[in-house]
Every structure is written in C-alpha cells, then in structure tokens.
Amino acid sequence: MILVFGRTGQVAIELQRLGQVTALGRDAVDLENPQACADAIRQHRPDIVINAAAYTAVDLAEEDEARATLINGAAPTAMARACAETGAALVHISTDYVFDGSGSAPWHPEATTAPINAYGRSKLAGEVGICAAGGTHAILRTSWVFSAHGANFVKTMLRLGAERDRLSIVADQIGGPTSAAAIARTCLAVGQTLRQSPVKTGTYHLSGTPDTSWADFARAIFVSAGLGTKVQNIPTSAYPTPAARPLNSRLDNSSLTRTFTVPRPDWRADLDDVLREIAAS
C-alpha cells in the first residue's frame, strides 16, 4: 500500500492520477498535528509513504515561520519516525530553497545547506528530522513546480499573457522547471525501489532540463501557448518580495539518475502536455 499525505496539491493530484495510492487530505490528517501524521501511518501500515503536502506560501512564511516549521519540519519528522517504526519507506519532497543560491554551478545533494528565507529553513528542518529518524527514506529536492492544477508560474503567465502585451520578468534567477507529473512518477519509482533496496536511502535532486531563467521560461510558455506577449528581462532587485529568492537554483540530478535510473525530465515536453490539458479543461 502507498500512503500519500496531501490530496489537492499539484504533486498529490498527479499521484492520484497514477493510481495505486491512498491520499489523505487535510480533512483526514492535519499536518499542524504531527502526532496525527504518525498515527495515520501506524493505522494504515503502508509499505510506502509519500509526503506531498507542505506549507508552500514562501512570502507568508516570513511572518508565519513557526507554522511553516510545524508543517514542513515537525510533521515530516513525525512521519519519518513512524515509518522507521513500522518499516515503511518514506519519500519526502523538499526544495532547492535549502541552498543560498550563490554561484552558478548546479547544487549537489551533499552541498552545504544555508537557506536564506523562512520557507527554506522550515523545509530544511524537515530534512534534518527525517535523516535523524534513521528509517528508509529518500528526500527529493525539486524546484519550480508546474502543472495544470493549482497556482503556479505557468498558469499565472497564461492569465497575465492573455491580459497584457508586455511583461517584466526576473531574468537572473536560474533553475529547472519541473512538472508535477514528473515528480509524481519519480516518487513512485523511488519508493518502490527503496522497498527492495533500503541501502539507497539518501537525499537526491530532481529538476527539469534545461536550466533556464524565469524570463526565458515565460517566453517558452507564451510561444507554446500561441500568445504574442513580449518579455522584458529585469533583475531580482527590481521585483522585491518579502522572502529573498536564491539566484542559483540549478540542481545536479546525476545521483538520482545513477541510483534509480530516473532520467532528468525535459520541461519543454512536459510544458506542452500541461498546456494541452489546460486548453482541454
């Protein structure tokens, strides 16, 4: 049995579409109650647990760090302890925001973490707790998630692109857009492999290729969607936000590919799939 925490988020929706999972929404288990998360694992006795739920309001977390840390830190830690106790394999989705965004080289999973905002600190707390629990697990750090569901950059660009002829988009933040569908497929594959090979426990990176800027990602969205919206490059300093964003979100995926034979997904192909789904909805 595969137990998924989360039901309405982007990755959780894609996991349910793949089938073979039991998804728990907030009405069933509230991540603000870590003990309830552990109890759910003990009750269901799953073989694999996928944590696809999180506090993701990056800017709001600056004023709400305690709640973000409860959901992103304490809850995954409780899940990991229950998984270690019951023998379940845990797959947990984390973020590039655990790094400070310095330099231009892709971040390796073993690179030193140094989050520059509250959201990143809360997600790092979850990683630390999972590792300390000592059970079979894979932490999958990913970035720039998009899909046909929920709130994300692709859907925002489609809305704004339909309203405006020109948009100013940040061009000095570089990363790998990653489709929720690719993340869901990887979570299942990694979880199933961990059941057979617990020795593959560890932290891995999953991000779309090729690395790009938000501005160039927006251009690709407009071209693929047939919109004539022009994009003006601006620096991060021209678009201030409550939470600082890392400039370098490039992630090195090589250990994931080597260990689990999971290829790095091409976000351009996944973008076309998402746009077709949105158009058909």
Residue 75, pLDDT > 90, answer yes
**Helix (H, G, I), strand (E, B), or coil: what is residue 266?**
strand
DSSP symbols for 168-194? EEE-S-EE--EEHHHHHHHHHHHHHHH
Q: How far apart are the C-alpha atoms of 262 and 206, rounded to whole Å?
A: 9
Report if residue 74 sits inside a domain. yes
Report if residue 172 sits inside a domain. no
Neighbours of 109 (CB within 10 A): 17
SS3 percent helix, strand, coil of the chain, rounded to 5, is: 45, 20, 35
Tokens encoding 73: 């830190």
Tokens encoding 196: 């057979």
Mind listing the pLDDT tens digit for each residue in 46-57?
Answer: 999 999 999 999
Report if residue 254 sits inside a domain. yes
Tokens encoding 147: 């899909």
Residue 15 has what pLDDT? 98
Residue 65, pLDDT > 90, answer yes
**Residue 238: DSSP 8-state:** G
Residue 281 has what pLDDT? 87
Question: What's the predicted TM-score (pTM) here?
Answer: 0.97
Q: Average of pLDDT values for 12-39?
A: 96
Report if residue 217 sits inside a domain. no
Residue 67, pLDDT > 90, answer yes
Q: Output the average pLDDT for the chain.
A: 97
Domain of residue 31, residue span: 2-148+177-208+249-266
Residue 19 has what pLDDT? 86
Report if residue 280 sits inside a domain. no
Q: Average of pLDDT values for 68-96?
A: 98
| Closest among 190, 215, 210, 189 to 200, alpha carbons compared | 190
Contacts for 240 with CB less than 8 Å, ≥ 6 apart: none
Helices and strands per DSSP (H, E), number in the chain: 10, 13
Residue 110 has what pLDDT? 98
Mind listing the pLDDT tens digit for each residue in 167-182?
Answer: 999 999 999 999 999 9
Residue 20 has what pLDDT? 87
What are the catalytic residues? 119
Tokens encoding 170: 């940040």
Report if residue 108 sits inside a domain. yes
CATH number at residue 40: 3.40.50.720
pLDDT tier, 190 (very low <50, low <70, confident <90, very high otherwise) = very high
Split into its structural domains, the chain has a count of: 1
Say if CB 148 and CB 98 are below 8 A apart.
Answer: no
Mind listing the pLDDT tens digit for each residue in 240-260?
Answer: 999 999 999 999 999 999 999
Report if residue 278 sits inside a domain. no
What is the greatest pairwise CA distance in the chain? Answer: 56
Q: How far apart are the C-alpha atoms of 229 and 241, rounded to whole Å?
A: 24
Residue 72 has what pLDDT? 98
Q: How far apart are the C-alpha atoms of 178 and 208, rounded to whole Å?
A: 5
| Closest among 107, 47, 55 to 76, alpha carbons compared | 55
Q: Average of pLDDT values for 184-203?
A: 98
If 0-12 CB within 10 Å is exposed, 13-18 middle and 19+ buried, where does residue 64 land?
Answer: middle
Q: How far apart are the C-alpha atoms of 94 and 137, rounded to whole Å?
A: 13
Report if residue 242 sits inside a domain. no
Q: Print burial letters for 141-156: b (CB count within 10 Å at least 16), e (below 16).
A: bbbbbbbbbbebbbbe
The distance in angstroms from the start CA to the end CA of the chain is: 31
